[in-house]
Protein backbone atom coordinates (compact mmCIF):
# COMPACT_ATOMS: atom_id res chain seq x y z
CA UNK A 1 0.00 0.00 0.00
CA UNK A 2 1.02 3.62 -0.21
CA UNK A 3 0.62 6.32 2.38
CA UNK A 4 0.23 9.77 0.88
CA UNK A 5 1.43 12.49 3.23
CA UNK A 6 -0.43 15.81 3.04
CA UNK A 7 1.51 18.81 1.69
CA UNK A 8 1.23 20.39 5.17
CA UNK A 9 2.66 17.41 7.04
CA UNK A 10 5.80 17.94 9.08
CA UNK A 11 9.05 16.02 9.28
CA UNK A 12 7.87 14.72 12.65
CA UNK A 13 4.65 13.35 11.09
CA UNK A 14 6.74 11.45 8.57
CA UNK A 15 9.00 10.08 11.30
CA UNK A 16 5.93 8.82 13.16
CA UNK A 17 4.59 7.07 10.08
CA UNK A 18 7.97 5.42 9.46
CA UNK A 19 8.17 4.30 13.08
CA UNK A 20 4.66 2.86 12.99
CA UNK A 21 5.44 0.93 9.80
CA UNK A 22 8.48 -0.64 11.40
CA UNK A 23 6.61 -1.44 14.58
CA UNK A 24 4.10 -3.37 12.49
CA UNK A 25 6.90 -5.51 11.09
CA UNK A 26 6.77 -3.87 7.64
CA UNK A 27 9.27 -1.99 5.49
CA UNK A 28 8.90 1.45 3.96
CA UNK A 29 10.18 3.09 0.85
CA UNK A 30 10.10 6.87 0.46
CA UNK A 31 9.40 8.78 -2.70
CA UNK A 32 9.51 12.56 -2.42
CA UNK A 33 7.75 14.41 -5.22
CA UNK A 34 7.66 18.17 -5.69
CA UNK A 35 4.46 18.48 -3.60
CA UNK A 36 4.02 15.39 -1.52
CA UNK A 37 5.94 12.60 0.08
CA UNK A 38 4.65 9.16 -0.64
CA UNK A 39 5.53 6.26 1.61
CA UNK A 40 5.39 2.84 0.03
CA UNK A 41 4.68 0.10 2.54
CA UNK A 42 5.79 -3.41 1.66
CA UNK A 43 5.73 -6.72 3.43
CA UNK A 44 3.37 -9.48 4.45
CA UNK A 45 -0.23 -8.98 3.19
CA UNK A 46 -1.87 -9.64 6.58
CA UNK A 47 0.41 -7.19 8.34
CA UNK A 48 -0.39 -4.58 5.70
CA UNK A 49 -4.14 -5.02 6.30
CA UNK A 50 -3.61 -4.57 10.02
CA UNK A 51 -1.51 -1.48 9.46
CA UNK A 52 -4.09 -0.02 7.08
CA UNK A 53 -6.79 -0.32 9.74
CA UNK A 54 -4.61 1.54 12.24
CA UNK A 55 -3.11 4.19 10.01
CA UNK A 56 -4.96 7.26 11.29
CA UNK A 57 -1.86 9.28 11.97
CA UNK A 58 -1.25 13.04 11.84
CA UNK A 59 -0.08 14.29 8.46
CA UNK A 60 -1.50 11.35 6.52
CA UNK A 61 -3.76 12.52 3.70
CA UNK A 62 -4.87 9.10 2.49
CA UNK A 63 -3.81 5.52 2.07
CA UNK A 64 -4.18 3.47 -1.08
CA UNK A 65 -3.90 -0.20 -1.85
CA UNK A 66 -1.77 -1.09 -4.85
CA UNK A 67 -3.72 -3.79 -6.58
CA UNK A 68 -0.87 -5.40 -8.52
CA UNK A 69 1.69 -7.70 -6.92
CA UNK A 70 4.51 -5.41 -8.00
CA UNK A 71 4.41 -2.25 -5.91
CA UNK A 72 7.64 -0.26 -5.86
CA UNK A 73 8.09 -0.50 -9.63
CA UNK A 74 4.53 0.57 -10.42
CA UNK A 75 3.28 3.90 -11.75
CA UNK A 76 0.59 3.73 -9.09
CA UNK A 77 3.35 4.00 -6.52
CA UNK A 78 5.23 6.78 -8.30
CA UNK A 79 3.57 8.83 -11.01
CA UNK A 80 6.67 10.70 -12.10
CA UNK A 81 9.14 8.89 -14.39
CA UNK A 82 12.35 7.95 -12.60
CA UNK A 83 15.64 9.27 -13.90
CA UNK A 84 18.64 7.10 -13.15
CA UNK A 85 21.88 8.96 -12.80
CA UNK A 86 24.94 6.85 -13.54
CA UNK A 87 27.83 9.13 -12.65
CA UNK A 88 26.28 12.05 -14.54
CA UNK A 89 24.75 10.02 -17.39
CA UNK A 90 20.98 10.34 -16.99
CA UNK A 91 18.66 7.58 -18.14
CA UNK A 92 14.89 8.08 -18.34
CA UNK A 93 12.42 10.95 -18.03
CA UNK A 94 12.85 13.54 -20.75
CA UNK A 95 16.54 12.84 -21.25
CA UNK A 96 17.80 11.95 -24.73
CA UNK A 97 18.30 8.22 -25.34
CA UNK A 98 21.45 6.77 -23.82
CA UNK A 99 23.50 4.32 -25.88
CA UNK A 100 25.43 1.36 -24.50
CA UNK A 101 27.59 -0.38 -27.09
CA UNK A 102 30.46 -2.80 -27.44
CA UNK A 103 31.21 -6.42 -28.20
CA UNK A 104 29.12 -9.33 -27.04
CA UNK A 105 32.12 -10.71 -25.16
CA UNK A 106 35.42 -9.30 -23.99
CA UNK A 107 37.98 -11.23 -26.07
CA UNK A 108 41.24 -9.32 -25.65
CA UNK A 109 42.53 -5.90 -24.64
CA UNK A 110 43.21 -5.08 -28.27
CA UNK A 111 39.67 -5.96 -29.38
CA UNK A 112 38.16 -4.04 -26.50
CA UNK A 113 40.23 -0.89 -27.03
CA UNK A 114 39.27 -0.83 -30.70
CA UNK A 115 35.62 -1.33 -29.81
CA UNK A 116 35.72 1.32 -27.06
CA UNK A 117 37.24 3.83 -29.45
CA UNK A 118 34.51 3.21 -32.05
CA UNK A 119 31.79 3.35 -29.43
CA UNK A 120 33.08 6.61 -27.92
CA UNK A 121 33.61 8.24 -31.31
CA UNK A 122 30.08 7.30 -32.29
CA UNK A 123 28.77 9.12 -29.22
CA UNK A 124 27.75 6.25 -26.91
CA UNK A 125 27.96 6.77 -23.15
CA UNK A 126 28.52 3.16 -22.07
CA UNK A 127 30.85 0.35 -23.06
CA UNK A 128 29.19 -3.07 -22.95
CA UNK A 129 30.92 -6.45 -23.03
CA UNK A 130 30.46 -9.76 -21.30
CA UNK A 131 33.17 -11.13 -19.04
CA UNK A 132 30.90 -13.97 -17.90
CA UNK A 133 28.96 -15.36 -20.86
CA UNK A 134 25.73 -17.40 -20.54
CA UNK A 135 26.31 -19.67 -23.58
CA UNK A 136 23.82 -22.22 -24.86
CA UNK A 137 26.57 -24.83 -25.14
CA UNK A 138 29.09 -25.50 -22.34
CA UNK A 139 31.74 -26.00 -25.06
CA UNK A 140 31.41 -22.43 -26.37
CA UNK A 141 33.60 -19.57 -25.15
CA UNK A 142 32.50 -18.77 -21.60
CA UNK A 143 34.17 -15.39 -21.20
CA UNK A 144 37.38 -14.01 -19.71
CA UNK A 145 35.96 -13.67 -16.17
CA UNK A 146 38.02 -11.44 -13.80
CA UNK A 147 40.53 -10.50 -16.48
CA UNK A 148 37.65 -9.41 -18.69
CA UNK A 149 36.24 -7.18 -15.95
CA UNK A 150 39.58 -5.43 -15.50
CA UNK A 151 39.95 -4.90 -19.25
CA UNK A 152 36.45 -3.47 -19.48
CA UNK A 153 37.18 -0.90 -16.78
CA UNK A 154 40.49 0.04 -18.33
CA UNK A 155 39.12 0.43 -21.86
CA UNK A 156 36.06 2.36 -20.65
CA UNK A 157 38.19 4.73 -18.57
CA UNK A 158 40.51 5.35 -21.50
CA UNK A 159 37.55 6.71 -23.49
CA UNK A 160 35.52 8.22 -20.65
CA UNK A 161 32.75 5.63 -20.89
CA UNK A 162 30.68 3.87 -18.23
CA UNK A 163 30.68 0.08 -17.97
CA UNK A 164 27.68 -2.23 -18.17
CA UNK A 165 28.34 -5.94 -17.87
CA UNK A 166 26.49 -9.09 -16.94
CA UNK A 167 26.63 -10.76 -13.57
CA UNK A 168 25.82 -14.40 -14.04
CA UNK A 169 26.20 -15.84 -10.60
CA UNK A 170 25.42 -14.77 -7.06
CA UNK A 171 29.01 -15.48 -6.03
CA UNK A 172 30.35 -12.82 -8.42
CA UNK A 173 28.02 -9.93 -7.61
CA UNK A 174 30.43 -7.92 -5.48
CA UNK A 175 33.32 -8.53 -7.82
CA UNK A 176 31.37 -7.34 -10.85
CA UNK A 177 30.08 -4.36 -8.84
CA UNK A 178 33.67 -3.32 -8.19
CA UNK A 179 34.33 -2.83 -11.93
CA UNK A 180 30.92 -2.06 -13.44
CA UNK A 181 28.79 1.08 -13.26
CA UNK A 182 25.64 -0.88 -14.11
CA UNK A 183 25.04 -4.56 -13.36
CA UNK A 184 23.33 -6.47 -16.13
CA UNK A 185 20.97 -9.34 -15.44
CA UNK A 186 20.71 -11.44 -18.56
CA UNK A 187 17.52 -12.85 -20.06
CA UNK A 188 18.28 -16.35 -18.78
CA UNK A 189 18.51 -15.11 -15.21
CA UNK A 190 15.47 -12.85 -15.14
CA UNK A 191 13.74 -15.16 -12.69
CA UNK A 192 16.79 -16.18 -10.70
CA UNK A 193 15.27 -14.62 -7.63
CA UNK A 194 18.22 -15.19 -5.34
CA UNK A 195 20.51 -13.43 -7.82
CA UNK A 196 17.99 -10.59 -8.15
CA UNK A 197 18.04 -10.08 -4.38
CA UNK A 198 21.84 -10.06 -4.33
CA UNK A 199 22.20 -7.50 -7.14
CA UNK A 200 19.47 -5.40 -5.54
CA UNK A 201 21.63 -5.08 -2.44
CA UNK A 202 24.91 -4.41 -4.26
CA UNK A 203 24.61 -0.63 -4.37
CA UNK A 204 24.74 -0.31 -8.16
CA UNK A 205 22.06 0.39 -10.77
CA UNK A 206 20.76 -2.79 -12.39
CA UNK A 207 19.78 -3.36 -16.03
CA UNK A 208 17.22 -6.15 -16.12
CA UNK A 209 16.79 -7.94 -19.42
CA UNK A 210 13.44 -9.48 -20.27
CA UNK A 211 13.38 -13.27 -19.99
CA UNK A 212 13.14 -15.28 -23.21
CA UNK A 213 9.56 -16.28 -22.45
CA UNK A 214 8.63 -13.74 -19.82
CA UNK A 215 5.37 -11.82 -19.78
CA UNK A 216 5.45 -8.12 -19.00
CA UNK A 217 4.03 -8.83 -15.52
CA UNK A 218 6.65 -11.47 -14.72
CA UNK A 219 9.29 -8.97 -15.78
CA UNK A 220 7.80 -6.26 -13.54
CA UNK A 221 7.78 -8.71 -10.64
CA UNK A 222 11.43 -9.52 -11.28
CA UNK A 223 12.21 -5.80 -11.03
CA UNK A 224 10.21 -5.71 -7.79
CA UNK A 225 12.63 -8.28 -6.34
CA UNK A 226 15.53 -5.94 -7.12
CA UNK A 227 13.82 -2.83 -5.77
CA UNK A 228 12.59 -4.56 -2.64
CA UNK A 229 16.19 -5.55 -1.91
CA UNK A 230 17.10 -1.86 -1.73
CA UNK A 231 17.90 -0.74 -5.26
CA UNK A 232 15.92 2.20 -6.68
CA UNK A 233 17.79 2.27 -9.96
CA UNK A 234 16.44 -0.46 -12.19
CA UNK A 235 16.47 -0.17 -15.98
CA UNK A 236 14.36 -2.57 -18.04
CA UNK A 237 15.80 -3.92 -21.27
CA UNK A 238 13.60 -5.41 -24.00
CA UNK A 239 15.74 -7.93 -25.92
CA UNK A 240 13.17 -9.91 -27.87
CA UNK A 241 11.10 -12.91 -26.89
CA UNK A 242 10.67 -16.46 -28.19
CA UNK A 243 7.94 -16.87 -30.75
CA UNK A 244 7.33 -19.36 -33.58
CA UNK A 245 9.36 -17.13 -35.93
CA UNK A 246 12.84 -18.40 -36.76
CA UNK A 247 13.99 -15.94 -39.42
CA UNK A 248 14.96 -13.60 -36.62
CA UNK A 249 16.76 -14.84 -33.49
CA UNK A 250 13.99 -13.44 -31.30
CA UNK A 251 10.90 -11.33 -31.87
CA UNK A 252 11.62 -7.81 -30.70
CA UNK A 253 8.56 -6.63 -28.80
CA UNK A 254 8.57 -2.87 -29.17
CA UNK A 255 5.11 -2.61 -27.67
CA UNK A 256 6.82 -3.54 -24.40
CA UNK A 257 8.36 -0.06 -24.38
CA UNK A 258 4.93 1.49 -24.22
CA UNK A 259 3.58 -1.13 -21.82
CA UNK A 260 6.44 -0.66 -19.35
CA UNK A 261 6.02 3.10 -19.47
CA UNK A 262 2.31 2.76 -18.74
CA UNK A 263 2.83 0.34 -15.86
CA UNK A 264 6.09 1.54 -14.33
CA UNK A 265 7.99 4.74 -13.58
CA UNK A 266 11.32 3.04 -14.39
CA UNK A 267 13.20 3.59 -17.66
CA UNK A 268 13.35 1.02 -20.44
CA UNK A 269 16.02 0.51 -23.09
CA UNK A 270 15.99 -1.78 -26.13
CA UNK A 271 18.52 -4.31 -27.43
CA UNK A 272 18.01 -4.59 -31.20
CA UNK A 273 21.07 -6.88 -31.50
CA UNK A 274 19.77 -9.86 -29.51
CA UNK A 275 16.23 -8.81 -30.43
CA UNK A 276 16.83 -9.64 -34.10
CA UNK A 277 20.13 -11.55 -34.35
CA UNK A 278 20.78 -9.87 -37.70
CA UNK A 279 23.15 -6.99 -38.39
CA UNK A 280 20.92 -5.59 -41.15
CA UNK A 281 18.04 -5.17 -38.72
CA UNK A 282 19.87 -3.42 -35.90
CA UNK A 283 19.80 0.13 -37.26
CA UNK A 284 16.13 0.12 -38.35
CA UNK A 285 14.98 -1.45 -35.08
CA UNK A 286 17.13 0.95 -33.04
CA UNK A 287 15.41 3.84 -34.81
CA UNK A 288 12.00 2.29 -34.24
CA UNK A 289 12.78 1.78 -30.54
CA UNK A 290 13.72 5.41 -30.06
CA UNK A 291 10.60 6.48 -31.94
CA UNK A 292 8.51 4.29 -29.63
CA UNK A 293 9.95 6.15 -26.63
CA UNK A 294 12.83 3.94 -25.46
CA UNK A 295 15.13 5.65 -22.95
CA UNK A 296 18.18 4.07 -24.54
CA UNK A 297 19.67 1.24 -26.55
CA UNK A 298 22.23 -1.48 -26.06
CA UNK A 299 23.96 -2.42 -29.30
CA UNK A 300 26.65 -4.98 -30.09
CA UNK A 301 29.65 -3.49 -31.90
CA UNK A 302 32.77 -5.47 -32.82
CA UNK A 303 35.83 -4.13 -34.65
CA UNK A 304 35.95 -7.35 -36.73
CA UNK A 305 32.59 -9.15 -36.50
CA UNK A 306 33.76 -11.90 -38.89
CA UNK A 307 36.15 -13.24 -36.24
CA UNK A 308 34.00 -12.51 -33.16
CA UNK A 309 33.92 -15.34 -30.62
CA UNK A 310 30.29 -14.63 -29.93
CA UNK A 311 27.35 -13.06 -31.84
CA UNK A 312 29.33 -11.82 -34.87
CA UNK A 313 26.25 -12.02 -37.12
CA UNK A 314 24.43 -9.39 -35.13
CA UNK A 315 27.41 -7.14 -34.34
CA UNK A 316 27.78 -3.81 -36.10
CA UNK A 317 31.14 -2.76 -37.51
CA UNK A 318 32.45 0.63 -36.33
CA UNK A 319 31.28 2.13 -39.65
CA UNK A 320 27.76 0.66 -39.25
CA UNK A 321 27.67 1.98 -35.72
CA UNK A 322 28.68 5.48 -36.78
CA UNK A 323 25.86 5.59 -39.31
CA UNK A 324 23.38 4.20 -36.80
CA UNK A 325 24.31 6.88 -34.28
CA UNK A 326 23.91 9.63 -36.87
CA UNK A 327 20.45 8.39 -37.78
CA UNK A 328 19.51 7.97 -34.13
CA UNK A 329 20.34 11.59 -33.41
CA UNK A 330 17.90 12.67 -36.11
CA UNK A 331 15.17 10.41 -34.77
CA UNK A 332 15.76 11.56 -31.18
CA UNK A 333 15.52 15.21 -32.24
CA UNK A 334 12.26 14.50 -34.02
CA UNK A 335 10.91 12.60 -31.02
CA UNK A 336 11.61 15.57 -28.76
CA UNK A 337 8.98 17.52 -30.74
CA UNK A 338 6.19 15.09 -29.82
Q: Give residues in contact with ligand PEP (CB under 6 A).
A: 104, 130, 134, 166, 186-188, 209, 239, 274
Residues near Mn ion (CB under 5 A), total = 2
Closest distance to ligand PEP from the beta carbon of 311 (Å):
8
Q: How many CB atoms lie within 10 A of CB 137?
A: 7
Nearest CB to ligand PEP, comparing residues 96 and 134? 134
Residue 187 interacting partner from ligand PEP, Mn ion, none (CB closer than 5 to 8 Å by kind) = ligand PEP
Please identify, among the stretches 58-66, 100-108, 135-143, 167-175, the one whose residues bind Mn ion according to the rule CB under 5 A: 100-108
Residue 134 interacting partner from ligand PEP, Mn ion, none (CB closer than 5 to 8 Å by kind) = ligand PEP
Closest distance to ligand PEP from the beta carbon of 331 (Å):
23
Which long-range contacts does 69-72 make (Cβ < 8 Å, 24+ apart)? 69/217, 69/221, 69/224, 70/217, 70/220, 70/221, 70/223, 70/224, 70/264, 71/2, 71/40, 71/42, 71/224, 72/29, 72/40, 72/42, 72/224, 72/227, 72/228
Q: How far apart are CA 162 and CA 106, in angstroms?
A: 15
- Which of residues 5, 17, 98, 104 is near Mn ion by CB under 5 A? 104
Please identify, among the stretches 30-38, 44-52, 61-69, 309-317, the one whose residues bind Mn ion according to the rule CB under 5 A: 309-317
DSSP 8-state secondary structure symbol assigned to residue 267: -
Q: Does the protein bind Mn ion through residue 311 (CB under 5 A)?
A: yes
Nearest CB to ligand PEP, comparing residues 265 and 274? 274
Q: Which of 172, 176, 251, 161 is nearest to 214 (CA)?
A: 251
Nearest CB to ligand PEP, comparing residues 140 and 326? 140
Are the C-beta atoms of 1 and 65 separated by less than 8 Å?
yes
Closest distance to Mn ion from the beta carbon of 300 (Å):
6
Closest distance to Mn ion from the beta carbon of 105 (Å):
7
Using alpha carbons only, give the angle 309, 183, 315 rounded to the nearest 5 degrees. Answer: 30
Q: Does the protein bind Mn ion through residue 238 (CB under 5 A)?
A: no
Nearest CB to Mn ion, comparing residues 72 and 127? 127
Q: Which of 84, 25, 18 is nearest to 223 (CA)?
A: 84
Closest distance to ligand PEP from the beta carbon of 209 (Å):
4
Q: Which of 160, 145, 144, 202 is nearest to 178 (CA)?
A: 202
Q: How far apart are CA 149 and CA 153, in angstroms?
A: 6
Q: Which of 39, 66, 72, 5 is nearest to 265 (CA)?
A: 72
Closest distance to ligand PEP from the beta carbon of 254 (Å):
15
Closest distance to ligand PEP from the beta carbon of 235 (Å):
13
Q: Which residues bind Mn ion (CB under 5 A)?
A: 104, 311
Amino acid sequence: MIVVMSPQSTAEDLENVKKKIEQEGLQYHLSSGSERTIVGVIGDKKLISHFEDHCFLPGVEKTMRITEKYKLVSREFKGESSVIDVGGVKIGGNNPPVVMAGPCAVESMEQLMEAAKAVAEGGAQFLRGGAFKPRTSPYDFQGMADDGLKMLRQAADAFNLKVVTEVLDQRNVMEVAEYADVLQIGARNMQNFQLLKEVGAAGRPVMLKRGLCATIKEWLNAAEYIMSAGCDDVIFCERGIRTYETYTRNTLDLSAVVAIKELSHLPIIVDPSHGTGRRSMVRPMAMAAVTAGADGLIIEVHPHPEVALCDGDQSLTPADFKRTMEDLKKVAALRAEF
